Amino acid sequence: MSPTLTNWAGNIVFRAGEVHRPETLEELRTLVTRADKVRVLGSGHSFNDIADSPGVLVSPSRLPRELELDTAAGAVRVSAGIRYAELSAWLHERGFALHNLASLPHISVAGSCATATHGSGDGNGNLATAVRALTLVTAEGDLVDLDRERDGDRFRGAVVGLGALGVVVSMTLDVEPTFEVRQRVYEDLPLEAACDHFSDIMGCAYSVSMFSDWTSSRINQVWVKERVDEDGSRPPGPASFGAKPADGPRHPIARMPAGNCTEQLGVPGPWFARLPHFRPEFTPSGGQERQAEYLVPRRHAVAALRELAAIGDRIAPVLQISEIRTIAADDLWLSPCQGRDTVGFHFTLIPDTAAVLPVLELIEERLAPFEARPHWGKLFTTPPAVLRSRYDRLPDFQALARDLDPGGKFANEFISRNLLDA
């Protein structure tokens, strides 16, 4: 076992004395039962210590591959270690789709849902909202099944579980008939137009993203992903408010090759080849980077946008690109979108944590009046007491954790610091 195992960005070196990749469910159950401390490692795409452990790290990547489609129920059961790129292509071949995808298809299903990772779209919930059932191995090696219809609150508490309740080994996701998407990129949207017509622009297609480097009074790019099967009744898009259609493919980060990105210029293609920004066969995003994201109630979107623009001169020196997306409300206890339609302000930052953290403190200060919730898997400096105050179902989650993991086997420093210690 290598002592230098790191996360995707290389800024976290995992401290685990043992890293295991069990190949059978029984092997996993035995391992969990015998260990004093356990954390689960997904695709390693978190930027903080959420997956770190001084004990045992477990990866589900070698557990038996499971892909079981129930066409009558509109559901697919998948093993936890499967990544969205594989699942999406498999579903499309059989005539089905997921409701949404994140910008990166490289990430694992279970890890993405556990941290409420999301795509974009006014009417689209985050990836975890597709979960209708899950199976996890708890501290004593027991298998626990939780179902959306049968288990109600316990289910809603467990889906975005941050690895604090057990090792998720499989999930059942909602699916729908496959669909095609056209993707177009627009450039140089005036910032004032973005503020004045925010709802129209973000609602003009199935999924919309704005990108800004905060160096001028404009939005650099707007990525518009429209379903081919829609009736055209959506509000006007960025071209109606001063943006220009891009004359060729674009990468959100201007210096990066556009070939890494999914096809643009309005060419129709399968949902899984357009909803992400990046192709699975290429290095996603900028590669060498740090990431942070803050999720704010949708009603504060424009005010928050103006606050960030006001400190653009402080953000820009540590920034590669910033993305603005909308996500629908949900009822999952620890989802940053719980109880509120949401706008996410995402920051892809230079790989210099010491330079980045003071800027994140400033961003958090400016967004504090808007009850910003940080993305669980990214960098943030929000004090634990403040973070806990922004989740009204946190006491219920703490009770669920005591029930499923009374000895705290799955609680690491991140979980204890942010969720459990009062």
Can you give the residue ranges of every domain in the chain? 67-177
Length of the chain: 422
First-last CA distance in the chain: 35
Per-residue pLDDT reduced to its tens digit, 40-59: 998 888 999 999 988 899 99
Task: Provide CB contacts within 8 A for 12, sequence distance 6+.
Answer: 6, 46, 47, 48, 49, 51, 52
Q: Is the pLDDT of residue 87 over 80?
A: yes
Residue 349: pLDDT band (50, 70, 90) is very high
Q: Which of 66-80, 176-190, 284-298, 402-416 is least confident?
A: 284-298
Mean pLDDT value across residues 312-338: 98
Q: Is the pLDDT of residue 132 over 80?
A: yes
Please state, in angstroms and rounded to a whole number, the distance separating the CA atoms of residues 208 and 194: 12
The CA distance from 296 to 319, in Å, is 20
Query: What is the chain's mean pLDDT, rounded?
Result: 95
The percentage of residues in the chain with a pLDDT greater than 90, rounded to a whole number, is 89
Q: What 8-state DSSP symbol labels residue 263?
A: P
Q: Closest by alpha carbon to 103, among 261, 326, 288?
A: 261
Residue 2 has pLDDT above 60, yes or no: no
Token pair 């919309």 is at which residue?
208
Burial status of residue 222 (CB atoms within 10 A of its CB: 0-12, 13-18, 19 or more): buried
Confidence at residue 54, expressed as pLDDT on a 0 to 100 scale: 84
What is the predicted pLDDT for the residue at 422? Answer: 57
> What average pLDDT score do residues 69-89 get?
96
1 pLDDT more than 50: no
- The dihedrals phi and psi of 409, each to the nearest 5 degrees, come to -60, -35
Handedness of CA 201, 202, 207, 211 (dihedral sign): positive
Structure confidence by residue, pLDDT tens digits, 8-19: 888 888 888 788
**Range 84-100 average pLDDT:** 97
More confident residue, 2 or 289: 289
Assigned architecture for domain 67-177: 2-Layer Sandwich (3.30)
Residue 304 scores a pLDDT above 80: yes
Identify the pLDDT of residue 252: 96
Closest CA to 211 of 181, 257, 243: 243
Per-residue pLDDT at 329 exceeds 60: yes
Higher pLDDT, 16 or 166: 166
pLDDT band at 25 (very low <50, low <70, confident <90, very high): very high
**Residue 163 confidence (pLDDT) above 60:** yes
* Residue 292 · residue 178 · CB < 8 Å: no
Strand order in the sheet with 18-20: 18-20, 56-58, 38-40
Quick one: average pLDDT of 366-380?
A: 97
The one-character DSSP state at 239 is G
The predicted structure's pLDDT at residue 116: 97
CA distances from 377 to 157, 241, 249, 354, 397 (A): 18, 35, 30, 18, 18
Q: Look up residue 200 and give its two tokens.
A: 């129209």
* Average pLDDT over every residue of 67-80: 97
Q: Is the pLDDT of residue 194 over 90?
A: yes
Would you give the distance in Å from CA 107 to the centre of its chain? 9
Answer yes or no: are the C-beta atoms of 17 and 39 closer than 8 Å.
Answer: no
Structure tokens at 28: 């996993």
**Per-residue pLDDT at 284:** 65
